[in-house]
Amino acid sequence: MICQNLSDLSESDQKKLFSRNTALSDVEASVDAILKNVKENGDSAILEYAEKFDKAKLSSLLVSKKEMDDAVSGLSPELLAHLQKAADNIRKFHEAQIPKEIWVENTKGILLGQKPIPVERVGCYVPGGRASYPSTVLMTAIPAKAAGVENVIVCTPARSDGTVHPLTLAAAKIAGVDQIFKTGGAQAIAAMAYGTKSIPRVDKIVGPGNVYVTVAKMKIRDFAEIDFPAGPSEVLIIADDFADPKMAAADILAQAEHDPNSVSILVTPSSIFAEKVMEEVNVQRKVAHRNEIIESALANSALLVTKDLDECIAFSNKFGPEHLQIMVDPKREDSVLSKIKNAGSVFVGNYAPVPAGDYASGTNHVLPTSGYVRMYSGLNTAHFLKFVTVQKISKDGLYAIKDTIIALAEEEGLFEHAEAVRKRFE
């Protein structure tokens, strides 16, 4: 883990931090081969990949109703209550995001409207492998259903015994998912984009994944739209001496345990605080559970000392983190927040850790990574909607803009456009 002044950061270290240690081009050939195989061979390719990558020999890709019911009945009522509480918070926040129809009459006789219309079928990718992610089921399916999507499917890898984690299935039931399929990786993205005998083709694919999933999503956009590139998790923490070094260290390790390619960065104007955080990281990492993953991720991470908070903010905006934590003097929180331009989701205060948004506060944890926050928003209900414009025009309304239309059309050399208007008044 790098620990030094930002001004002393070498060019190679800067390049490593900003690349997030994930070169998409490194896996392109593998992903291309998977996409081609699934497109040509459908279910048989998916079943082969399940055995190869997940060590699961499957007779069916679809999770049955019995499997769903057995999973839910086997969970403790207390755990189900926690899952329901998280779902309720997520649903409430995302229902508040739903845009309304708008109607504007900017010229008498011309009524202009915009109607939000949900896409018909959405595919939610839910990672598996190193961990189960029932929270991702809630984060992807609940906003889709809130937006009015009729058919929501989930693809998630099976465990080696051919089952899906029961909490993932319970989350799917609570979220109103219509079908769940046992497949993961780039092959799941291909199946949802092209369609197979078992897995229906969808209009849009959402959800996070590893570098293979991210590359696959970016390559199938001629067949299905995606939310945005969402790869290995990352956090950037802006902190000063008012922050608690134990909390900051815990937040660094919390992101590091996601994936070996995860990135955790802390920027602070206080060298003393940085040293305290480094000491805490070294203490806490010794008792961490997913130690092997954490150690790999910490190799991608950094504690950087700046000359002041403004330099912290400038670095953060340049980096564009998936998650941004602001852990500064409460009197300065709003000032720092007002200067943030690029971030997926922002967590303000010592008691606003990223896991709050990961699970239960209600905001969405499916967020752009690798600097894509410069151009994409985190997952929200608008991702599941198309916006169709409408115009209701009376004869008087068209007459009011007739001359403008004719003049501009003829200037562009589109004379039949002009005639289409002129003939209405002959």
CA distance 208 to 189: 11
User: Pick the catalytic residue: 94, 165, 323, 365?
Assistant: 323
Q: Which helix (H) or strand (E) holds 247?
A: helix 245-256
Distance CA 371, CA 387 (A): 27
258 known ligand binder: yes
Q: Give the residue from 268, 215, 304 showing the smallest Cα distance to 29.
A: 215
Considering the candidates 322, 365, 383, 419, report the single residue annotated as catalytic. 322
Q: List Cα–Cα distances, 184 to 19, 210, 400, in angstroms.
A: 25, 10, 57
322 counts as catalytic: yes
Q: Is 412 annotated as a binding residue?
A: yes
With tokens 């199946």, the residue in question is 191
In sequence order, which residues have a C-beta less than 8 Å from that of residue 262 and are 6 or more positions away? 232, 233, 234, 255, 256, 297, 300
Bridge-based pairing state of the strands 110-118 and 385-393: antiparallel
Q: In DSSP terms, which residues pair with 324 in a beta bridge?
A: 236, 346
Q: Is 323 annotated as a binding residue?
A: yes
CB 62 within 8 A of CB 200: no
Q: Which helix (H) or strand (E) holds 153?
A: strand 151-156
Say if residue 255 carries a ligand binding annotation: yes
Instruction: State yes or no: 417 annotated in a binding site.
Output: yes
Taking the alpha carbons of 340, 342, 345, 350 in that order, is the dihedral positive or negative?
Answer: negative
* Alpha carbon distances (Å) from 84 to 115, 151, 207, 358: 31, 21, 20, 15
- Amino acid identity of residue 70, one-letter, is D
Q: In sequence order, what DSSP letters do the residues of 64-84 get, joined into one string?
A: PHHHHHHHHHTS-HHHHHHHH
225 is in an annotated binding site: no
Q: Which of 42, 368, 57, 379 is nearest to 192 (CA)?
A: 42
* Secondary structure class of 352 (helix, strand, coil): coil
What the block records as the tokens of 6 is 């930002």
What sign for the dihedral angle of Cα 209, 215, 220, 222?
positive
Contact 388, 382 (CB under 8 A): no
Please state, in angstroms and rounded to a whole number, the distance separating the CA atoms of residues 220 and 64. 28
Binding residues: 125, 187, 210, 233, 255, 258, 323, 358, 412, 417
Binding residues for substrate: 233, 255, 258, 323, 358, 412, 417
- The residues that are catalytic are 322-323
Binding residues for NAD(+): 125, 187, 210
Binding residues for Zn(2+): 255, 258, 358, 417
